[in-house]
């Protein structure tokens, strides 16, 4: 079901959004029976708490939704989505003092509360629709929700149905939807066209590796998005233990996120030139798999010693980033489910990023706060450069030891972009337990913050 607002012409039920500190004052204006009902049932207007109000004829007169306190709201996002998910089917409208970014957040959360991944099992969900609140850009929020749904669906689909071929199909469908040009380099053609590391990582899989490219827009600043498309990661010959392999269908979460963001950019018709590059591979075990201690020569000519075949994402991204720098661009952004070290550092809910572009950092930090899409800046720490230099080759894909794993991976990628304006996101792409507007499963991270930041970064 597409996430859309209900038409303004439909009859709707009011949802009164009340903060804890304003509950007593608000209740004083209610009919006595309704005020007594709230008191009798112990309603405190806590976050996510709600009560249905009955009309004299037994119908639904309204809903009271608690908004808690400002301090408690900081501990989460999309609070009204929890209420929306519990309401009976119908059309609703908000009665609230919320405005601006806070209102946009709750309206978007309501749209996303209806998301279910139902490709393999029908899942009942009540048709709980919201009229677009006054003051929000309804069309924009619907586009953002559609981009997030695309990302979630791609990540949630298991590798049997979301291998390199299916990821390519998804990119071609997105291109056709928006009139973008899409192309692919597949299999041994990767060697002929000088993408040796993409080929090496994916050559042992049943489906050939490939580099996917989308181009859209004829004028304006040039933005290049690069997404890690490892559709499944066994770890290669350095095979993962079962506990670590269980979520590896999400290892193409970077690709899924940039495709969701690309949809938002194209549907909103932002005045820029967009390029999306996705190395799509499966890191498998086979007689022709790349090996520990192999030395690969990248597209850029930089040699890489393989000290762990499970550190494959940076290899495929390196060739794609090298391609991205071969023509002028105003900003390159890579997104990848790259390291477990990033999760240890900031947990699953925050998207850590790396960039030394001052205007990008400034605009992204502001944007993330505005749209409730949390990010955290990590350092390109130059003294750690020596950690990725093995001596026998230019670079080491997996430095020994357990320190600074996310930072050394980011430094590795930076070697392939040179002086181009660059930002890298080391995302998780997965919601480990259900939260308002975010059921357990695949989730976008950083895309909404990037979308909000782009006008300021690229001077659109």
The set of catalytic residues is: 240, 314
Residue 438 DSSP symbol: B
Length of the chain: 460
What does the alpha-carbon distance between residue 57 and residue 61 come to, in Å, rounded to a whole number?
Answer: 9
What six digits make up the tokens of 431?
Answer: 């919601």
| 3-state percent breakdown (helix, strand, coil) of the chain, nearest 5 | 35, 20, 40
Angle ∠(66,68,74) on CA atoms, nearest 5: 130
Q: How far is CA 66 from CA 44, 81, 113, 223, 452, in A?
A: 7, 12, 17, 41, 28
Identify each DSSP E strand in 81-148 by its residue range.
Answer: 90-95, 128-130
> 169 Cβ partners below 8 Å, 6+ apart?
none
What does the alpha-carbon distance between residue 262 and residue 65 come to, in Å, rounded to a whole number?
Answer: 35
Q: How far is CA 239 from CA 236, 306, 316, in A?
A: 5, 14, 18
Residue 385 DSSP symbol: G
The helix (H) or strand (E) run that includes residue 278 is strand 273-283
């Amino acid at each position: 079901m597409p996430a859309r607002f209900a038409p303004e012409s439909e009859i709707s039920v009011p949802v009164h959004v009340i903060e804890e500190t304003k509950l007593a004052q608000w209740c004083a204006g209610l009919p006595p029976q309704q005020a007594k009902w709230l008191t009798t049932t112990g309603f405190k207007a806590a976050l996510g708490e709600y009560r249905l109000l009955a009309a004299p004829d037994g119908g639904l007169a309204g809903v009271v939704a608690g908004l808690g306190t400002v301090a408690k709201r900081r501990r989460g996002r999309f609070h009204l989505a929890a209420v929306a998910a519990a309401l009976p089917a119908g059309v609703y409208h908000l009665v609230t003092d919320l405005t601006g970014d806070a209102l946009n957040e709750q309206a978007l959360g309501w749209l996303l509360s209806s998301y279910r991944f139902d490709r393999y099992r029908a899942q009942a969900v009540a048709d709980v629709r919201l009229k677009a609140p006054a003051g929000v850009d309804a069309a924009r929020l619907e586009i953002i929700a559609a981009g997030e749904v695309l990302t979630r669906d791609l990540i949630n689909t298991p590798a049997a149905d979301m291998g390199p071929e299916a990821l390519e199909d998804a990119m071609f469908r997105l291109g056709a939807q928006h009139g973008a040009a899409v192309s692919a380099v597949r299999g041994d053609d990767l060697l002929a066209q000088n993408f040796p590391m993409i080929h090496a990582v994916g050559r042992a899989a049943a489906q050939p590796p490939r580099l996917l490219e989308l181009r859209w827009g004829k004028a304006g600043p040039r933005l290049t998005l690069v997404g890690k498309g490892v559709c499944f990661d066994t770890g290669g010959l350095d095979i993962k233990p079962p506990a670590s392999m269980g979520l590896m269908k999400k290892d193409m979460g970077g690709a899924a996120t940039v495709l969701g963001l690309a949809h938002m950019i194209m549907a909103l018709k932002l005045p820029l030139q967009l390029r999306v590059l996705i190395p799509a591979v499966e890191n498998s075990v086979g007689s022709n798999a790349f090996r520990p201690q192999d030395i690969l020569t990248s597209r850029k000519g930089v040699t890489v010693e393989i000290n762990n075949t499970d550190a494959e994402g940076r290899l495929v991204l390196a060739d794609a980033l090298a391609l991205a720098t071969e023509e002028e661009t105003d900003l390159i952004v890579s997104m990848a489910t790259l390291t477990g070290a990033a999760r240890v550092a900031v947990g699953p809910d925050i998207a850590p990023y790396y960039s030394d572009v001052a205007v990008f950092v400034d605009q992204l930090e502001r944007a993330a706060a505005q749209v409730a899409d949390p990010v955290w800046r990590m350092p390109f720490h130059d003294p750690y450069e020596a950690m990725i230099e093995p001596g026998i080759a230019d670079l080491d894909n997996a430095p020994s030891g357990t320190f600074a794993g996310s930072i050394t991976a980011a430094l590795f990628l930076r070697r392939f972009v040179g002086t181009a304006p660059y930002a890298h996101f080391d995302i998780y792409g997965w919601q480990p337990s259900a939260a308002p507007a975010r059921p357990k499963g695949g989730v976008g991270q950083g895309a909404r913050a990037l979308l909000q930041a782009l006008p300021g970064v690229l001077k659109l």
